[in-house]
Structure 1
């Protein structure tokens, strides 16, 4: 398919970004609501991790069929169907009266917004030239960071005024409006075919050496970075550094604002770096050790590591976000939906495991007699070890990415 004209491409990007903004608010709002929900429903760290992870469980569960549907029916038709599920999930969460009803609604929300990033990335693979794909991916993530900024202090300010339940009603309304914008601006889709004429399949994705090389990084490093940003940075600030809920929300606001700026800069730099021969693999190889060093410093500092430290960790972890568009470009466009959704499955399965796993570890170390702050530090040390192992696999399985033509 011929690349979209610049003006049309900008409009299509903005239409998708509007939906992804609300998706990101919904994804990250649990961190801000953690103190409120913990008090109202008497949640343990394990319950809180499961509640936040439930969103990503629902998100991950749809990724394989989602990739097939994106390749077959196109981004517009697929994302519209899913956004309506997200609207229902938001309303169910607003009406929930128990932990289990909260969890069920949270899973439904995850299912509903699971196409909000994969749909545009699949479209960009066919509609944009490779340098523009890298920029569009980074700026979609910037939009997500803007949504995560909105999920912190603005939500914290709204809770005493309208309550957390009305916040979810407003999210449902925003997603409904986003669906109308998508109908209005996103183009249709022609079914693609593999270069050799064979029907596209996930087997072609799973067997690809480059996909396998990046999978552990996607699971632990990328998934774990999202798990920290969207949940555990908040409880760390409250239970380890000792700040109150408002100060924690202010810290999360700063973290997400830093990520917004980071992804904006990546969007500016990616085409320039690509023209100079600095590919994804080299940037990841250089950047991931920075995140490992920062995380190690946080573990050592304990209560001395506040929002600034976690912002530094998230910013250093942003190098792994470059892998997502690189995976899409490593496959022909007819396989783009499957390749991107398969990698997204890896990422968000990692988010679910890390979010719930950290909660389980905190409770387990606490049961062994460690104080709360020390239990958090021990859990983060286990997370650091997993990240180091994934990076070692990436270095051992060296294979350059060779993008296909759009």
Structure 2
């Protein structure tokens, strides 16, 4: 393959392309429900963990291995999952994925000890590995390019809403019938969503009933959404690998929030489940706001004539740096519950400014291979999910909470530095020619 300068795209409008009155709005709503359910399924174990460890006699380290079991196949199969979704199409891919993760969630509720619980979490990670790359592939076909950040912000806000609801839902089910019922209910919800998706969604917007010529004209070029040239692996890795490192730093801290905040509040402040569930929900709700704000903020910078790469990087640095600063009070032992809750909530808000931008970058950089590129990027998050719960749990047992939080601050700082210096460039292929570089309009600040 040869390289050639990329052709300049049409300038992005001052206002974002509308969703109201468009079929893509329904697609985005469906994906919001999927993201919310997926995070309820993967994080409900955190709230149930004190009860599970008591019933099965697990140590903190063993609990960390159970949580991390999700992330091992999740990390290893991200790129593969993204490629499969591009070949099979997001309609079939997401249907199969949600049915399998529904089975895995059901299996979690039927677990009888450490090994069955571990196996259920491994299957859940295996099935969810391709979920977000497949969803990103669906968005690359249905979402106008000037709304990439907004769309990713909205769906990840739904995911964080799932995070925030999970503690309350699990606490409710535990109160009425024990922790297992929470997994049975979400398993049923997952399968139901998969059926609705398969009936309602179409891989090609052209095949959707009732779509207008106006909406089709607003979508990405046909060659982006309807064809898949061979993946330029070397060029893709060069552009996305630094983003994967940033995603690792982000993911490490996110897994701290998703895994250990209920235990932290329970241990440090001697809270009952009904109390720490509400405090955990308050912390996680800050992420719902952060996700939407982060995606809208970078898109707004672009609409006002900013460079898309600079817009994404700027929000990443602000988010990572702000999250670090807000975690600093937790490095001092003996903080009040109010200070700890506010610090955690603000830290999570800033952290979630990053999420939409991390997922928008693969759509910006490799629109024709957005599933593979987003899987490559999210491998960093998956690896963090393997390492973070185990290392964090081991350090808690050895030294308490301050050192694990300090390590999180160091990783946030490193990720912020890489985010500022990285320079991912767009890849497109036309007639077998790989085009690498920044379009002239983008260099001039119009995109």
TM-score (norm 1): 0.88
In 2: Cα distance, 1:4 partner to 1:382 partner: 42
Which of 372, 380, 387 pairs up with 2:412?
387
Is the CA contact 1:241–1:306 (under 8 Å) kept in the aligned structure 2?
Answer: no
Task: Report the counterpart of residue 369 of structure 1 in structure 2.
Answer: none
In 1: Cα distance, 2:279 partner to 2:425 partner: 37
Is the CA contact 1:141–1:263 (under 8 Å) kept in the aligned structure 2?
Answer: yes
Which of 27, 52, 57 pairs up with 1:42?
57
Task: Report the counterpart of residue 95 of structure 2 in structure 1.
Answer: 80
Task: Report the counterpart of residue 89 of structure 1 in structure 2.
Answer: 104
Question: Secondary structure of 2:202's match?
Answer: coil
| 1:128 and 2:143 aligned | yes
In 2: Cα distance, 1:394 partner to 1:281 partner: 6
In 2: Cα distance, 1:382 partner to 1:288 partner: 14
Which of 180, 196, 212 pairs up with 2:241?
212
In 2: Cα distance, 1:353 partner to 1:167 partner: 26
Range with bigger deviation, 383-392 or 155-164: 383-392
Counterparts of 1:19-38 in structure 2, within 5 Å, are: 19-38=34-53
The structure-2 alpha-carbon separation of the partners of 1:22 and 1:286, relative to structure 1 and needing over 3 Å to count, comes to closer
- CA RMSD, 1 decimal: 2.3
| 1:200 and 2:228 aligned | no
Is the CA contact 2:246–2:380 (under 8 Å) kept in the aligned structure 1?
Answer: no
Q: Deviations over 1:323-371 (max 9, x none)?
A: 3233213433221111001111111211221121101222233xxxxxx
Counterparts of 1:190-339 in structure 2, within 5 Å, are: 192-194=227-229, 199-208=230-239, 211-220=240-249, 222-276=250-304, 277=306, 279-304=311-336, 305-339=339-373
Task: Report the counterpart of residue 71 of structure 1 in structure 2.
Answer: 86
Task: Report the counterpart of residue 402 of structure 2 in structure 1.
Answer: 377
In 1: Cα distance, 2:84 partner to 2:254 partner: 25
The structure-2 alpha-carbon separation of the partners of 1:403 and 1:133, relative to structure 1 and needing over 3 Å to count, comes to farther
1:138 Cα deviation after fit: 0.4
In 2: Cα distance, 1:166 partner to 1:142 partner: 26
The structure-2 alpha-carbon separation of the partners of 1:4 and 1:110, relative to structure 1 and needing over 3 Å to count, comes to farther
Question: Secondary structure of 2:286's match?
Answer: helix
- Larger C-alpha radius of gyration, 1 or 2? 2
| 1:142 and 2:157 aligned | yes
In 2: Cα distance, 1:99 partner to 1:202 partner: 39
Q: Deviations over 1:217-273 (max 9, x none)?
A: 2102x2023202211111111122332222211111111222223323345444323
Task: Report the counterpart of residue 399 of structure 1 in structure 2.
Answer: 423
The structure-2 alpha-carbon separation of the partners of 1:58 and 1:259, relative to structure 1 and needing over 3 Å to count, comes to same
Question: Secondary structure of 1:43's match?
Answer: coil
Which of 341, 354, 364 pairs up with 2:388?
354
Question: Secondary structure of 2:269's match?
Answer: coil
1:99 Cα deviation after fit: 1.0
Q: Deviations over 1:252-309 (max 9, x none)?
A: 1111222223323345444323212261112222332211111222212554353222
In 2: Cα distance, 1:301 partner to 1:274 partner: 42
In 1: Cα distance, 2:135 partner to 2:170 partner: 27
Paired positions, count: 386
Q: Deviations over 1:176-223 (max 9, x none)?
A: 1101111112112565244xxxx2143332122xx2332222102x20
Structure 2 segments unaligned to the other structure (5+ residues): 1-16, 205-224, 429-438, 440-447
